[in-house]
Structure 1
Amino acid sequence: MNTITDKIGLSHASVATALECDFPLVEISQIAEQESWRKEINRPIYHIHKWWATRLGSVFRGITLGALSQPGTDTWAQFYKTHDLAGKVVLDPFMGSGTTLGEAVKLGAKAIGCDINPVSTFLVRQAFTPASEAQLRAAFERLERDVAPEIRRYYQTRDPQTGELIPVLYYFWVKTVTTSEGEVIPLLSRYVFSQDAYPKKKPRAQIVCPGCWGVLEDRYDATELQCQHCGHQFNPQEGPAAGQYVTTKGGQRYRIKELLPKDGAPPHRMYAMMALRADGSKVYLPVRDEDLALNEAAQERLASETLPLPETGVRSGHNTDQARGYGYTRWRDFFNARQLLCLGLLLREILRIDDLMVQEQMLCLFSSTLEFNNLFCSFKGEGTGAVRHMFSNHILKPERTPLENSVWGTDKSSGTFCTLFESRLLRAKRYLDEPFEIEFVYDLMGDRVGSRKTIASNPIKARRVETWAELNAADHGLLILNGDSSKLPVPAGSVDAVVTDPPYFDFVHYSELSDFFFAWLSPVLRDRYQWMAREDSSDQGEVQHKDPRVFARQLAAVFTEACRVLKDDGVLAFSFHHSRAEGWAAIYEAINKSGLAVVAVHPVHAELRAASPKTAAKDPISLDAILVCRKRAFALHKPPVVRDVRTAVDAMSARLQSAGMCISAGDRFVIGAALTLIARAADDLSFDGIKMDLDAIRLAVGPKAGEADDESVITDAELVTV
């Protein structure tokens, strides 16, 4: 089959599944790349709510199918066929958004998913709840009747042409600082606040005048402009903020952080808006007295209402300290008064829905809406989805120029309750009825001419159960657990395959980020679910630590438990990539300590190369390594030498590149590191010993030091609008 394992001399004497000997990595990588362009459309069930590092469904379909198939099975030939793997059981101990569970039940297998994070458990339960579109539409229409008018009244302005009130889509805000002399300075790096995503093709842009705060229209790259309202002359490209500094009108320079308030978040100024005229056209307008009065009315009403708002503080952490340093110490600080009022009114009305199943679907939608309606959002520009959500970087990055979205929204909005109802919630429910795959279309000459959606699975109707006994008794079932995956309520030797995607050891601290949602969900669900009754979404058993050795011990505990529940002829397969040798050394140590051994590796496309924060990396990684493991006692090895690994890296990179994929130096290191793990599978090296091997591989095939960081903390100097 000319696989990687053949190239490095791995024995197939004990192969028990198709995944151990071959994987259609080129074909699936090509499909995965297509899926990655619009994951929320191509696999909507896993994007009903925000989760981090959501893996591609097509890749996990291939992994799961191979893990449950006999050796010699052509996985690609079976990829688009409908399967009914009744009786097979698949476990994901880090279920995240539920990708493994969905792909397993689509194949007709039973699935067990466990996550220690309560937000994950909640969103996966909602994703697989088969609520009818009629039920959801009835609930939405009730909300639209009873609360939408209250919300919309706070998002309107007067059209200067007709004098009529029209809806506001977005408000533009800017943070301000005040000098010791009393000068208030807006943190604008330039006065161009809206331009097209492709400005050279569409150069028209919106500019705010620093003299009168009027809104002007000119080229995005204009350097000389005279305001038509007040006559002020200025350069739109030169705002008072540059990097970590601001400059006063008199030319004095201050460090921004020195001017931040000692207590609380920085103040903001609302200066412009985008509104929707009756004819459907969009118009940019300056903020006038009536608009300021409306915002003040929202503040006054907020003070008089009793609403279900978040009251918890933001805990110190890797992903939260930057926000805390800017005065965001409570989760409610992430919203302005109008947002808190309108979100609170909406949540209060959702909690009045009597049908708890429908209510929780709407709660999930509400929680999704939070991502696009807070002070950490920004404007992406014309010709795009408009709202850059708060998690575009995997840290809580304060925005100097926040964009305030309209909470309920219109059909011309982006990231609002009404638009996400259609694009996230209903789309996910339809996928349960028609779970499709992406398939390429070829012409008579064999050239690819497009893609289409094709049905390759039965409807997802796996009955959700609460215990192993219920799952064991059912032909098809889905068991969704919350808790420590190192202590599963599952009998030994009962699982056919473990398929998962473990967390990184040092970058994305999921619970620190998910606290943002938990702060809203926990108060209304804590009496309903024990796992929601916490101070925050963290748990002492979560697998997350900046020390790779500690992370290895944490991960080993989960892998050891997975090994216990796995059948002797089953495999544990997981996806992983990392730019540093320490990350791979931690994985090697976790595998060894848990009684497992790597028996095969398959590099496969994992993420859109243009996805943020990958665009900030000098040498972005777009490949995952699929590591296939078996219980050590049932795995036979013929370890290769390191130079064979290097040769295999060249061969595999060439194979993927010939299929049209762009392979970076970071990707080459992922391939090389994975092959090193299989080459050293029988050696039981120490952490330092395997790290030396991995450092050598990186030096030989990977990027230079610092060029393949998966993510980096955004510095103060980078806190700028696009």
Structure 2
Amino acid sequence: MNLNIKQLLLTPPHATTAIECDFPILEISQLAERESWRKEINRPIYHIHKWWATRLGTVFRAINLGALSRPSTNIWNNFYETHQFTNKVVLDPFMGSGTTLGEAVKLGAKAIGCDINPISTFLVRQAFTRVPETELHATFTRLEQKVAPDIRHYYQTRDPHTGELIPVLYFFWVKTVVTPKFETIPLFSRYVFSQNAYPKKKPKAQIICPNCWNVIENRYDATSLICPHCQHSFNPQKGPASGQYITAQDGTRYRIKDLLPSNGNPPVHRLYAIMALRRNGEKVYLPVREEDLSLYAEAEARLKSETLPLPTLKIRDGYNTKQARSYNYTYWRDFFNSRQLLCLGLLLQGILEIKDTAIQEQMLCLFSSTLEFNSLFCSFKGEGTGAVRHTFSNHILKPERTPLENSVWGTDKSSGTFSTLFESRLMRAKRYLDYPFEIKRNLTVKQKASQKPLASQSINVQTVKTWEQFDNRENSLMVINGDSSYLPLPAKSVDAVVTDPPYFDFIHYSELSDFFFAWLSPVLKDRYPEFAKPNSSNQGEVQDKSPRIFARQLASVFSQCSRVLKDNGVLVFSFHHSKAEGWAAICEAITIAGMLVFATHPVYSELRTATSKTAAKSPICLDAILVCKKYSSFNVRLDEQTLISKTETLAKKLEQGGINISEADRFVILASQILIPLSQQKRDFNFVCNALQQIHQLAQKSWNSKLAI
């Protein structure tokens, strides 16, 4: 295909910002990879509560810096400097967890964030709200005295050695089905239920006997075992469940979904093992005894007699919820067993009795965050790592066949409980407001930083809801819940728009955020109108499996961004996609909004070992940073070979700096570069798709020939 594009000009004409000219892709990618290993520690303010596809603060600090600086500015040389972009205004129309906002105010700019999802606006308000640390600790202590003993009562077991009651860290459950011959079968794929994250170094594992249900300690890879308790011989690596099928004792295979309860309830669970904590700090695995079952029955009975603030919301049918619904999960309360519902309800009830609204909402945010690690969709990650694999580890709500029940309040040895998240998430985020540190650059990306440079003043902003309030205060942060297609802002009032649009065809945020909305809506609906709705969805969501519809939805937001953006301002956003249709949709949205792509920069965006990435044959770990402006045209021209060559140059630069680049990452780089001439020519959707596909084929031939050499 002849695109009639001939020459590359490195610096676009009429550049008004540094990010149009250059971007330190290697240095920022190296820092970003360091951040991605422990995002909740390195940028705690954006991880006070679950949000999906949270972008890396390092990257967005550099983007904001480049978008607000003059063309001659060296972004990397100024990265660790303290800045004061007084009266500069940055807008994020898809604010999510608030990454853009935090990085903008750290640079001394004012920031406006808008999101259509009520969970987003609630968590962002809580993240930037300053409350005295002493008051938070005092409230936590009072809450602990009031409700923790009640909750801890249901998370204890008897130590068989001493006879004393000791705290339970985790209860291990397994789903069961009943065959037409009335055989109850647990959905174990293997009987090894706990092993170390590095089993070759530490081969000790915990195995459940399928005959007597006692816990056996042996090697993680044992293939033949005789139970020391009942002498049953079995292969620990071979359970009755395999894929979508189970095998009965007589050898008959059944499809699991065909054996789900006919009454429409979720599958029945069986409690099969316990991890408890002895007085000396030793963790011990124990089998389930009658006393443990009686304690659960006590929780079940009490739940029926209590009036607690529990969710009643029904689960909507959608892309991210269909698997849960196919297992008969109909209501959000079905995600929790009776003990979890009782203890979470008691905790929420205690929080609602806190008189100070600001403190109460901080605790509500912490409570909501705790839900992610305390549902029947959680599982055990194993020893030597964070124990709890959270509810959203697969993005879609995939029913867990061997759920892990966490201990809700928790101990100092727990993971993902209310008490541990108080320190690791809430308090860490509050301290970051005072000391907003950066990550020190180091050539070994996994090595811990020896220092945390303070490159910003403390974050001390007042959250407001209207433009008038925002415009009249210096240190103000405007947080809007609503459709970004209708921004309540004056024309040409924003210096830069920096954002990360939704990923159009897979992650439907409101379907997932209903998990939290179901608990928060009943207690917040009288304070915030966005919670007084049937669910967290909205007609104005930019989310659709059709790329053409997504393009039009995104264009309506980008058009608003163009309206409120100053003439010399830039719209900068991150994006990646593995298919030409995704890039064609982005190109169409930009051109409909009357803007052009002036520059693109590839940068590291996501940990390659994330659960959603490990299953991919060629995972994408780069984002393209697209820099757009309102000019009607400019004179940058590219030919196919120059595009391919530039893609390879950028990929090689990142690889030589230690960033692994997949074939899909190369496509991200190539596709983003192609948008520069195609947005200028205002090509239609089909043309862009065809151009991307054809140039990608040429590029693959070039890359493969170099690999062969």
TMscore range, shorter length: over 0.9
Shift, 1:153, TM fit: 0.2
Partner of 2:706: none
Shift, 1:329, TM fit: 0.7
The TM-score, its normalising length taken from structure 1, stands at 0.95
The TM-score, its normalising length taken from structure 2, stands at 0.96
Partner of 1:183: 183
Partner of 1:255: 255
Paired residues of 1:639 and 1:680 also in contact (CA < 8 A): no
Partner of 1:234: 234
Q: Secondary structure at the match of 1:667?
A: helix
**Paired AA for residue 114 in structure 1:** C
Q: Secondary structure at the match of 2:32?
A: helix
Partner of 1:592: 591
**Distance in 1 between the 2:443 and 2:551 partners?**
46
Where do residues 286-325 of structure 1 align in structure 2 (5 Å cutoff)? 286-325=287-326
2:507 is the counterpart of 1:516: no
Paired residues of 2:209 and 2:227 also in contact (CA < 8 A): yes
Partner of 1:709: none
2:687 is the counterpart of 1:689: yes
Partner of 2:337: 336
Paired residues of 2:7 and 2:637 also in contact (CA < 8 A): no
Distance 1:6 1:601, change over 3 A: farther
**Paired AA for residue 28 in structure 2:** I
Where do residues 230-629 of structure 1 align in structure 2 (5 Å cutoff)? 230-262=230-262, 263-440=264-441, 451-629=450-628
Shift, 1:340, TM fit: 0.2
- Deviation string 1:116-149 (CA, Å, 9 cap, x unpaired) is 0000000000000011211110111011000000
Shift, 1:703, TM fit: 11
Paired residues of 1:155 and 1:406 also in contact (CA < 8 A): yes
Paired residues of 2:207 and 2:216 also in contact (CA < 8 A): yes
Distance 1:549 1:462, change over 3 A: same
**Paired AA for residue 595 in structure 1:** G
**Distance in 1 between the 2:494 and 2:29 partners?**
27
Q: Secondary structure at the match of 2:452?
A: strand
Partner of 1:149: 149
Distance 1:410 1:703, change over 3 A: farther
**Distance in 2 between the 1:406 and 1:702 partners?**
51
**Paired AA for residue 24 in structure 2:** P
**Distance in 2 between the 1:579 and 1:132 partners?**
46
Structure 1 range deviating more: 293-302 or 602-611: 602-611
**Distance in 2 between the 1:7 and 1:52 partners?**
39
**Distance in 1 between the 2:199 and 2:11 partners?**
56
Shift, 1:450, TM fit: 5.3
**Distance in 2 between the 1:595 and 1:231 partners?**
75
Partner of 1:650: 648
Paired residues of 1:175 and 1:400 also in contact (CA < 8 A): yes
Shift, 1:452, TM fit: 2.6
Partner of 1:166: 166
**Distance in 2 between the 1:338 and 1:558 partners?**
44
Shift, 1:6, TM fit: 13
Shift, 1:643, TM fit: 2.3
Q: Secondary structure at the match of 1:613?
A: helix
Contiguous gaps of at least 5 residues in structure 1: 705-722
Shift, 1:441, TM fit: 5.2
**Distance in 1 between the 2:13 and 2:256 partners?**
65
Partner of 1:65: 65
Q: Secondary structure at the match of 2:637?
A: coil
**Distance in 2 between the 1:597 and 1:42 partners?**
34
- Deviation string 1:660-695 (CA, Å, 9 cap, x unpaired) is 211110110000000010121211111000000111
**Distance in 1 between the 2:442 and 2:486 partners?**
46
Paired residues of 1:380 and 1:387 also in contact (CA < 8 A): yes
**Paired AA for residue 230 in structure 1:** C
**Paired AA for residue 149 in structure 1:** P
Paired residues of 2:52 and 2:509 also in contact (CA < 8 A): yes
Structure 1 range deviating more: 243-252 or 298-307: 243-252
Q: Secondary structure at the match of 2:611?
A: coil
**Distance in 2 between the 1:261 and 1:19 partners?**
58
**Distance in 1 between the 2:701 and 2:359 partners?**
50
Paired residues of 2:90 and 2:496 also in contact (CA < 8 A): yes
Partner of 2:705: none
Contiguous gaps of at least 5 residues in structure 2: 703-709
Partner of 1:119: 119
**Paired AA for residue 597 in structure 1:** L
Partner of 1:48: 48
Shift, 1:308, TM fit: 0.3
Q: Secondary structure at the match of 1:269?
A: strand
**Distance in 1 between the 2:412 and 2:402 partners?**
25
Q: Secondary structure at the match of 1:206?
A: strand
Structure 1 range deviating more: 245-254 or 588-597: 245-254
Shift, 1:642, TM fit: 2.3
**Distance in 1 between the 2:588 and 2:640 partners?**
19
**Distance in 1 between the 2:443 and 2:331 partners?**
54
Structure 1 range deviating more: 102-111 or 693-702: 693-702
Paired residues of 2:173 and 2:405 also in contact (CA < 8 A): yes
Distance 1:450 1:368, change over 3 A: closer
Q: Secondary structure at the match of 2:167?
A: strand
Paired residues of 1:668 and 1:702 also in contact (CA < 8 A): no
Distance 1:523 1:6, change over 3 A: farther
- Deviation string 1:535-570 (CA, Å, 9 cap, x unpaired) is 110000010000000000000000000000000000
Partner of 1:715: none
**Distance in 2 between the 1:426 and 1:702 partners?**
49
**Distance in 2 between the 1:688 and 1:650 partners?**
26
Q: Secondary structure at the match of 2:381?
A: strand
Paired residues of 1:168 and 1:273 also in contact (CA < 8 A): yes
Shift, 1:504, TM fit: 1.1
- Deviation string 1:89-113 (CA, Å, 9 cap, x unpaired) is 0000000000000000000000000
Q: Secondary structure at the match of 2:603?
A: strand
Shift, 1:12, TM fit: 2.4
**Distance in 2 between the 1:670 and 1:56 partners?**
18
**Distance in 2 between the 1:579 and 1:695 partners?**
11
Paired residues of 2:11 and 2:21 also in contact (CA < 8 A): no
Paired residues of 2:7 and 2:639 also in contact (CA < 8 A): no
Where do residues 120-135 of structure 1 align in structure 2 (5 Å cutoff)? 120-135=120-135
**Paired AA for residue 664 in structure 1:** S
Shift, 1:701, TM fit: 3.6
Shift, 1:702, TM fit: 5.8
Shift, 1:644, TM fit: 1.5
Paired residues of 1:10 and 1:637 also in contact (CA < 8 A): no
Distance 1:680 1:16, change over 3 A: same
Q: Secondary structure at the match of 2:16?
A: coil
